[in-house]
Structure 1
Amino acid sequence: MNNLNANYERILEVLQKISKEQLLDYQRRRPKLSDLELICLSLTAEFMGIDSENDLFRKLPVIIASKIDRSVYNRRRRKLVGYMDDIRLRLASHFNEFEDYFIVDSMPLEVCKLSRSSRSRVCKEDAYAFPDKGYCASQGSNYYGYKLHAVCSIKGVFQSVDLSPASVHDVNYLKDIKAQMGDCTLIGDRGYLSAEIQLNLFETCNIKLNTPMRSNQKDYKKQPYIFRKKRKRIETLFSQLCDQFMIRRNYAKSFRGFKTRILSKIAALTTIQYINKFIFDRNINNIKISII
């Protein structure tokens, strides 16, 4: 895992199979480091746990470092975030194309400590993307920042991800899923319990939402054991994002930079899963492993 250049070459080999080199239009001249190579460099850094751009450029081989400046790398990386997510979806489609069961959940992403929230200017350049105060039931604490909503398959591959202010309730994310998925069973926790949303999902796109019932509900039935067991898969993925990919560590000052960091980490996770499956034929969720 310590050989940055070898890891870079491995990931680039995968990305070149599914995407072209230049993704943006350049009016004057094409950059020395192609768009796909820049995305590859970003994913390699996330896989190796290099979360600081200064640290990354100190470790870069001369042949790569000579092609791009650090500030240019930062600007281009933010412009390419949409293409990076498209690449992630193409990789995920190799796992999820015929999947019928998915799991939905959310996790808190703290921008700064709650005591500093009133004077913090982080991620406040656009009014629509202001962070907010929210409550995390699993941790039993309040926090200031955003909420990562995600849907993953039973195998453990992310299909859909989104960010919202921390105060937005989990159930609102289900309204966006209708445009992305259909004809499947969606397993969630009690945060997604809503008879109205459940009926709407089934009628509009044939999504069967399965959540645990509250014990005092009429006609109470316990959620099947297999669903309760499989629901832990997404919690394991969140733990991997927190551990190896350090998703809760934030160096960004703008919302675009914050979003780019989050999506880069998720795209890197999906890329390593693809390499595990289709190059080495091993367990896709062994993330702390050599890909050389």
Structure 2
Amino acid sequence: MKDLELISLALTAEFMGIDSENHLFRNLPTSLKTKIERSVYNRRKRKLAFEINEIRLKLAQQFNEFEDCFIVDSMPLEICKIAISSRSKICKEQDYCFPNRGFCASQQMSFYGYKLHAVCSVSGVFQSVDVSPASVHDIHFLKDIRNQLSDCLLLGDKGYLSSEIQIDLFESVNIELETPKRINQKEYKPQYYLFKKYRKRIELRSIS
């Protein structure tokens, strides 16, 4: 199987929502099964991860070319319970990617692992996906947004409240960051109901 064929197969599986290689190979036609063995496919797919992501980004840019409204959110990626985190050896092969302890305000829970950050358009196409240690605050992810987006409306939850970041994004790349205010904030008013509806899209997709 050529690299191009393997990348096409990997992207097609993602599009179909197939996240299990066993399930993928059970449903492959015989003509493809005879071209590559599952473990070989897995190793080559990992080696081609950079190229696959580059293609995914270009596809996202094409789909989102005329979008002017995006949603940003994060979700916890728990790898083990906090009680056994000190003994866990998961993902500790390299110092730079150590998991750690964080807190998820929306679920009111502490967890050990990582945090998934994502930006998607209102139509549901993911513009970018990133992973950080659990302790990294959502606000810090916004500092990288300026390299991905410009001239648009960006919707976030209360975890992205920061007047400093809001002003910086608007002045540097003309991104209007819209977040709901806390009840005890000055000049509080409920967020526009349509923005709440848009934010549900990324929350539901993250859960699925």
- Establish whether TM, by shorter chain, passes 0.5: yes
Aligned to 2:137: 169
Aligned to 2:99: 131
Q: Is residue 225 from structure 1 mapped to residue 193 from structure 2 by the alignment?
A: yes
How far did 1:45 drift? 4.3
How far did 1:76 drift? 1.5
Per the normalisation by structure 2, the TM-score is 0.90
How far did 1:185 drift? 1.0
How far did 1:126 drift? 1.4
Residue from 113, 124, 127 that aligns with 1:156: 124
Aligned to 1:70: 38
Q: Greater strand percent: which structure?
A: 2
Aligned to 1:38: 6
Name structure 2 gaps, 5 residues minimum: none
Deviations 1:26-49, CA, capped at 9 Å, x for gaps: xxxxxxx11122123334445364
What is the 5 A alignment of 1:44-193?
44-46=12-14, 47=16, 49=18, 51=20, 53-54=21-22, 56-57=24-25, 60-193=28-161
Distance (whole Å) between structure 1 residues aligned to residue 45 and residue 165 of structure 2: 37
Distance (whole Å) between structure 2 residues aligned to residue 181 and residue 110 of structure 1: 29
Cα distance change on mapping 1:236 and 1:219 into 2, 3 Å: same
State the AA in 2 paired with 1:213. Answer: K
Question: Does the aligned pair in 1 maintain the 2:161–2:181 contact within 8 Å?
Answer: yes
RMSD: 2.0
Aligned to 2:162: 194
Identity %: 63
How far did 1:114 drift? 2.6
Deviations 1:35-76, CA, capped at 9 Å, x for gaps: 12212333444536452x455445544432333333332221
Distance (whole Å) between structure 2 residues aligned to residue 121 and residue 71 of structure 1: 24
Question: Does the aligned pair in 1 maintain the 2:18–2:24 contact within 8 Å?
Answer: no
